[in-house]
Amino acid sequence: MAENESVECITEHERILQEIESTDTACVGPTLRSVYDDQPNAHKRFMEKLEVRIRNHDREIEKMCNFHHQGFVDAITELLKVRADAEKLMGQVTDTNRRLQDAGREVTAQTEEVIRCRIQQRNMTTTVSVFLRHYAALKTMEQLEKVFIPRVSRYRFCQIMADNLPKLREDIKDISMSDLKDFLESIRKHSDKIGETAMKQVRDRSDCVVCPSQAQQHRTFNSVVQKQDSGMGYTKPVLTAQDLVDFSPVYRCLHIYTVLGDRETFENYYRKQRRKQARLVLQPQSNMQETVEGYRRYFNQIVGFFLVEDHVLHSTQGLLTRAFTDELWNMALSKITAVLRTHSSYCSDPDLVLELKNLIVIFADTLQGYGYPVNRLFDLLYEIRDQYNETLLKKWALVFREIFELDNYSPIPVETEEDYKSVISRFPFHDAEIEKQDFPKKLPMSQSVPQIYVQVKEFIYASLKFSESLHRSWTEIDDMLRKSTNLLLTRTLSGCLQNLIKKPHIGLTELVQIIINTTHLEQACKYLEDFITNITNISPETVHTTRLYGLSTFKDARHAAEGEIYTKLNQKIDEFIQLADYDWGMPESDGQASGYLMDLINFLRSTFQVFTHLPGKVAQTACMSACKHLSTSLMQMLLDCELKQISMGAVQQFNLDVIQCELFASSEPVPGFQGDTLQLAFIDLRQLLDLFMVWDWSTYLADYGQPTSKYLRVNPSTALALLEKMKDTSKKNNIFSQFRKNDRDKQKLIETVVKQLRSLVNGMSQHS
């Protein structure tokens, strides 16, 4: 029984293997699942069977490869031999194709000329056939009137015929005039299409060809009309001649009115109607300035109108004159320039102004090719260029403000060589000392500096775009670029910097970084000049060019930042001094400097450590300004008129605080001061306090006015004011109470000193 099961299992496995070999792989899953659904160990036997089958197939594949190997090698060898011949053949085919193209180019041109001539012939045939019917009728009437009717004039019907002939002539005139009116209506509708096609041809050629001659432009317009007639398109299908433009009504009506002796009437009518149409064409849409498409439609209609006039001028004799077309064009120029000047002034988008400029250039080049003078249009472009620059300046003002708002006002960290190269690729920074440092390191300027530099270059590129195609020399373009860049630096960037410096959130650290930033931007101005020179190839050494005023811009910003540093530093000192809380009646000092003053000095120390990155003179000036302001503020506190009494203990405490100020000044918080220059900021306070601490009035009064006086900086009025605060006016605990107890003569001495001080003060006032 087991043997039968084994045989059945083997048979089943053979069947499954055959299915796997012959069935799509998507259906293999259910087949394999049946292996596991059978006997418990059937899948192992199946795997063994599968291994045997795979080895058999591998041997068959190997035999087949061995059998075909030599043939494959021979085929590859033959293919390598053929490759050289194939390359040679390819060269011959390419050369043959080139010569065939060269040979066929003339044939193609002649074929197009033949097609053009046949289209002209067909149009002429159609026009002549229609015209001949009217012409034949007129000739017949003339023969009847002059030859045949006089012969039979005695018959009454002849008189009826003779009476009807003028009416028939008028009917012919009316028919031709009706055709002319239809033509005028049609040409008004299709002028924009004619103008669009002509401007497109000029635009397509503008990259490689100077504006074509008048004769070439006439041929261009003819080809426009003819290609539209024939259905030969440009980038999209165009209307046929019957749908677009057909000049035969003009020629027919002109000839009929000429034959009938009424040519002047026709000429006056045609010119009057075209004047009316010109005024309609020149009337802009109310919202034309909002999109470039509005300007494009406006220009297309005008170009189409004057191309039609030019065609009629050259295809008829006397219907139009150059004086008439010049009159129309001058009227149009005045209207066009007024419209563009008004509408462009509303444009706030520089991209739209630039597109308008490109349209005006193509518009001018197109009409100039037909002999219409366009100098006034290019003069207008110079006005629009100023408007374009204004829109650029407004746009870049927003760019600069955003850069300043996002700046962290910290030196740029560079972790790797790649980071360093990334920065200097955007900004020309070179510092031998920093280059020697190991990574990571920091560059002195903050991230806004390379961003500003890149944006100035982007502005120059944007400004250059307007100067293209204006038919100006590179010297003039160079001058334009430098002037517009000067405006960007001296007005826009300068204004943004000045506003930034005045912002409340900009503190001392940020101001220090701004000064460092402006220093590096100032140094980069020469690279901006080189950048413009590389664009225009106009060297300042060979041609007198406008220099960039960036140096003054950044110097002014730096001076403003320095002034703001002095102001904010003094404001910070005032904030600390407002925290002072002296007990002006204390009997004696506690022997320690006041807490507020020590906090102030610590703040100044940390602040001046940041100032080490500033130019030396700026840091020294800031330090000297802070010490002078501190000294002045302390003196004002001591002499405050609302302060009525001061004890000697308070003076001693005040003296301890001034000593700390002097120690700070002597610790060289900012390097570069010579000797005791910084301590001299507190000399007035020091001499005044020494005078009261030592009570050395005899020396003061004896040496007063002498250059060698020990108390030379003590003003009598200052000494008197302080002494008045220390007099015994309350009869209570006072510095002078000990004098009253011990020696009343000293009180008299003080009174004497007060009198002498008052005498000195009065003498000074009388002398002044």
Q: What are phi and psi of 66, to 5 degrees?
A: -65, -40
Convert 546-585 to b/e letters by CB count within 10 Å (16 or more is b): bebbbeebbeebbebbbebbbebbbebbeebbeebebebe
Pair (522, 458) in one structural domain: yes
Give residue 394's pLDDT band: very low, low, confident or very high (50, 70, 90): very high
In a domain, 579, yes or no: no
Within 10 angstroms of residue 273's Cβ, the number of other Cβ atoms is 15
Would you say 525 and 494 are in contact if contact means Cβ atoms under 8 Å apart?
no
Pair (489, 552) in one structural domain: yes
Domain boundary residue among 372, 399, 421? 372
The tokens for 756 are 């002498």
Residue count (the chain): 768
In a domain, 524, yes or no: yes
Three-state DSSP state, 715: coil
In a domain, 1, yes or no: no
In a domain, 580, yes or no: no
In the block, tokens 């366009």 appear at 374
For residues 19-30, average pLDDT: 64
Q: Hey, which of 78-92, 249-263, 343-357, 397-411 has the most confident mean pLDDT? A: 397-411
Pair (544, 673) in one structural domain: no
pLDDT on residue 739: 47
- If one counts the domains in the chain, the total is 4
**Cα–Cα separations (whole angstroms), residue 300 to 205, 684, 732:** 17, 83, 102
The kind and range of the H/E element at 414 are strand 412-414
pLDDT on residue 730: 37
Q: Give the CB-side neighbour count of residue 575, counting CA atoms within 13 A.
A: 10
Query: pLDDT digits over 59-76, tens only?
Result: 888 788 777 777 777 777
Domain boundary residue among 510, 534, 562? 562
> Which residues are within 8 A (CB) of 653 and not within 5 positions of it... i.e. 6 or more apart?
582, 583, 586, 589, 590, 594
Closest CA relative to residue 634, chosen from 585, 686, 566, 697: 686
Pair (356, 434) in one structural domain: no
Would you say 302 and 332 are in contact if contact means Cβ atoms under 8 Å apart?
yes
Query: pLDDT digits over 605-632, tens only?
Result: 999 888 877 776 888 889 999 999 999 9
Query: pLDDT digits over 414-435, tens only?
Result: 999 999 999 999 999 988 888 8
CA distance 404 to 92: 64
The pLDDT > 70 percentage for the chain reads 77
CATH of the domain at 717: 1.20.58.670
CA distance 600 to 591: 19
CA distance 150 to 152: 6
Give residue 127's pLDDT band: very low, low, confident or very high (50, 70, 90): very low
In a domain, 707, yes or no: yes
Give residue 179's pLDDT band: very low, low, confident or very high (50, 70, 90): confident
Pair (402, 527) in one structural domain: yes
Q: What are phi and psi of 614, to 5 degrees?
A: -80, 160
pLDDT on residue 402: 95
By residue range, what is the domain housing residue 195? 174-206+240-372
Would you say 322 and 370 are in contact if contact means Cβ atoms under 8 Å apart?
no
The per-residue DSSP string of 654-699 comes to HHHHHHHHHHHHHT-SSTT--TTTTGGGGHHHHHHHHHHHHT-HHH
Closest CA relative to residue 395, chosen from 445, 453, 462, 446: 462
Three-state DSSP state, 280: helix
pLDDT on residue 504: 87
Pair (523, 662) in one structural domain: no
CATH of the domain at 193: 1.20.1310
Pair (101, 69) in one structural domain: yes
Pair (606, 699) in one structural domain: yes
Domain boundary residue among 317, 343, 372? 372
The kind and range of the H/E element at 441 are strand 441-443
In a domain, 595, yes or no: no
Pair (546, 409) in one structural domain: yes
The per-residue DSSP string of 151-169 comes to HTTTSHHHHHHHHHHHHHH
CATH of the domain at 480: 1.10.357.30
In a domain, 584, yes or no: no
Higher pLDDT, 764 or 670: 670
> Which residues are within 8 A (CB) of 376 and not within 5 positions of it... i.e. 6 or more apart?
333, 337
In the block, tokens 């193209």 appear at 101
Pair (406, 278) in one structural domain: no
Pair (673, 645) in one structural domain: yes
Pair (107, 178) in one structural domain: no
In a domain, 451, yes or no: yes
156, pLDDT greater than 80: no
